[in-house]
Structure 1
Amino acid sequence: MYTEITLQFSISIIPSGDAEDIAAAAKVADWLPDGLPSVLPKGVEPELSKLALAGHSRGGHTAFSLAMGHAKTQLTFSALIGLDPVAGTGKSSQLQPKILTYEPSSFDMAMPVLVIGTGLGEEKKNIFFPPCAPKDVNHAEFYRECRPPCYYFVTKDYGHLDMLDDDAPKFITCVCKDGNGCKGKMRRCVAGIMVAFLNAALGEKDGDLEAILRDPAVAPTTLDPVEHRLA
């Protein structure tokens, strides 16, 4: 069994720094050794030597920032997942801390990384709202700056908030361009990629991940591009 900390999404149009969220995520990680066993079912033991960190949208920026040491934790992370991560509203207006350097393989962290993006995230919903995952601060740049081993999948026909449940508040989902296809399929696709990645990165069972890389058409939604770097 592996353990994952998943950080809540936050829409990229909110122009604030990320220090409080990073510190809060670090506190959650430090709570795990003593706190997590008390809330797990009887007979279930957490494997904190295999700890994964994940975040969506601005939560992706939070996850990457924590993994890069912008807050101290007692535990060591073994894998990192960015779900349509966003680091601000543009190249000149990054969230603090400014982790994007615009240099390839510049992220200073030694762990497998998965980045999943959306094809419509950098498009505007309408003339009133900016893109929710703008170019230069979205999934493409996050992946570009990762060091191997790293994996990259883009759900081509879906938008930034299509990962949320159907009952998510409309005042949130209305600001981002969304896809016309079945969002349930997209969510199952994203979840399946995450499980395949974690099994490979933490469980040494890489068959499913290799199958998706070899033939992305096995996924229930179109994945394009699909990339990975192992060295």
Structure 2
Amino acid sequence: MMAQRREAVMGSGSTDVFEKGDIHWKKVNVDSSIANSSSPPKPLLIFTPTLPGAYPVIFFCHGFCVRNNFYSELLAHIVSHGFILVAPQLFCNGLPMFGPCEVKLAGKVVDWLAKGLQPLLPENVEANLEKLVLSGHSKGGKTAFAVALGYAKTTLKFSALIGIDPVAGFSKHCQTLPRILTRVPRSFNLDMPVAVIGTGLGPIKGKCWAPPCAPEGANHREFFDECKPPRAHFVASDFGHMDMLDDDTEGVVGTVLSKCLCRNGRGPRDLMRRTVGGLVVAFLRAHLNGQWKDFEAVLGDPSHAPTKLDHVVYLPAPS
């Protein structure tokens, strides 16, 4: 099956997914407003191509206490390869939300996309909501999984799901609400391809005597284990839970979360951002557009990635 897919895209050209793409783009800040019915339920950032065309849409949820603009470099990498990214700020009065409230609000923002997104895009740029992807980092990864699993009712359908070092709770025995991990392999009732990108240093205690930011029993390994094929799993062994964020995260909270509490890798963060961004692009090209060349190249030789990938698994859907 893999050989047949490879022949189908041979000669179509290839872009190095681990480098910035050549599609021009811009970032749009959108505020929420009770007085304006067309406003989104929460403030958000939109990363959109300016080159005319129809593009898949990725809905991205930030991690615990993290601001959506801390992911600007990562999201810029992805949009430059031909995607529209919508990243809401799921805070309430400037403070993080917890549990089911955040999941339900994420679902409301997803529903807003149907009528609210297109008017905010450049002329002749179309949001292809027939190819809508859920994604998120850390607690936001769990939020994305929870929305996909139906914990938030939405009118739109999803084509793929990507968890970036997702975290379900404080430990194996202490999940945050909603408790979505069942401890049963392949138990997630999902009918879409899933990719899980983990970190090798996430389960290690952070600085300042902090507990692990992605503890064993509640991290990427459990999320992958409970997914059904088609599913992919990548682990960047030399990097940590916050290493896909921007180099500069404004404010005391951003600095503490990004560079103190969680264990960081020894290399430049740019390597991790390029790795995560490239894996997202390659996975979605394959599963949304049938362009398998880049994805198969990484599966065949993980050294193509800028960082060491010590765990690369892809289980296709049963034929």
TM-score, reference length from structure 1: 0.96
Q: Deviations over 1:165-223 (max 9, x none)?
A: 01112121210000001210111011000001111111111111111001001111100
CA distance in 2, matches of 1:215, 1:62: 31
Q: Does 1:205 align with 2:291?
A: yes
Q: Is the 8 A contact 1:113 1:151 kept in 2?
A: yes
Query: Corresponding residue for 2:166?
Result: 85
CA distance in 2, matches of 1:194, 1:124: 27
Q: Does 1:143 align with 2:224?
A: yes
Query: Corresponding residue for 1:171?
Result: 256
- What are the within-5 Å matches in structure 2 for residues 209-224 of structure 1? 209-224=295-310
Q: Is the 8 A contact 2:149 2:189 kept in 1?
A: yes
Query: Corresponding residue for 2:40?
Result: none
- What are the within-5 Å matches in structure 2 for residues 3-42 of structure 1? 3-10=57-64, 17-42=98-123
Q: Does 1:121 align with 2:202?
A: yes
AA partner of residue 283 (structure 2): F
1:63 Cα deviation from its structure 2 partner: 0.4
AA partner of residue 62 (structure 2): Q
CA distance in 1, matches of 2:238, 2:135: 22
Compare 19-28 and 81-90 and name the one that shifted more: 19-28
How many residues are matched? Answer: 229
Q: Is the 8 A contact 1:11 1:58 kept in 2?
A: no
1:23 Cα deviation from its structure 2 partner: 1.1
| Root mean square deviation of aligned Cα | 1.5
Query: Corresponding residue for 1:99?
Result: 180
Q: Is the 8 A contact 1:17 1:97 kept in 2?
A: no
Query: Corresponding residue for 2:280?
Result: 194
Compare 126-135 and 216-225 and name the one that shifted more: 126-135
CA distance in 1, matches of 2:148, 2:190: 7
CA distance in 2, matches of 1:11, 1:107: 27
Q: Is the 8 A contact 1:57 1:86 kept in 2?
A: yes
Identity of aligned residues (%): 49
Q: Does 1:180 align with 2:262?
A: no
Q: Does 1:69 align with 2:150?
A: yes
CA change 1:16–1:36 in 2 (3 A) is closer
Q: Is the 8 A contact 1:84 1:118 kept in 2?
A: yes
**Paired residue secondary structure (1:96):** coil
**Paired residue secondary structure (1:46):** strand
Q: Is the 8 A contact 1:105 1:147 kept in 2?
A: yes
Query: Corresponding residue for 1:156?
Result: 237
CA distance in 2, matches of 1:87, 1:11: 15
CA distance in 2, matches of 1:25, 1:214: 36
Query: Corresponding residue for 2:30?
Result: none
CA distance in 1, matches of 2:244, 2:207: 20
CA distance in 2, matches of 1:125, 1:46: 40
**Paired residue secondary structure (2:129):** coil
1:16 Cα deviation from its structure 2 partner: 7.8
Compare 66-75 and 20-29 and name the one that shifted more: 20-29
**Paired residue secondary structure (1:50):** strand
Give the number of the structure whose alpha-carbon radius of gyration is greater: 2
In the alignment, structure 2 segments of 5+ residues that lack a partner are: 1-54, 67-95
Q: Deviations over 1:84-109 (max 9, x none)?
A: 00000112110111111111111111
Q: Is the 8 A contact 1:11 1:57 kept in 2?
A: no
1:128 Cα deviation from its structure 2 partner: 2.1
